[in-house]
Amino acid sequence: MTSKVAKLQRASLSDPVKIEVAAKYSTVDSLLQHYLFIPAKYKDVYLTFLINEMAGSSMIVFTNTQSSTQRVTLMLRNLG
């Protein structure tokens, strides 16, 4: 976990659970990690923009509820 991600964790999570794996599987130095604080009403629009901009690249989208996951799933299916 990078220091930026650790700061984000402290700022946004309450009682997080940390799971670690062996150092053999550590994050590569070339990995780019970004986070943005977006007003809730703009999150889907901005996520759609990012997905279109990053087409062909790998990304991970985290959600905080099952209903949010279902909404993102439907959005991804509609985007193809």
**Three-state secondary structure of the chain:** CCHHHHHHHHHHCCCCCCCCCCHHHCCCCCCCCCCCCCCHHHHHHHHHHHHHHCCCCCCCCCCCCHHHHHHHHHHHHHHC
Of 64, 67, 32, 66, nearest in space to 50 by CA:
32
Which structure tokens are listed for 51? 């997905």
The domain segmentation of the chain, as residue ranges, is 3-79
What's the confidence (pLDDT) of residue 74? 93
pLDDT digits (tens, 9 = 90+) for 11-22: 888 887 877 777
Condensed to tens digits (0 to 9), the pLDDT of residues 53-78 reads 888 888 888 888 999 899 999 988 98
* pLDDT tens string 15-57: 878 777 776 666 777 877 778 888 989 988 998 998 888 888 8
Q: Is residue 4 predicted with pLDDT exceeding 70?
A: yes
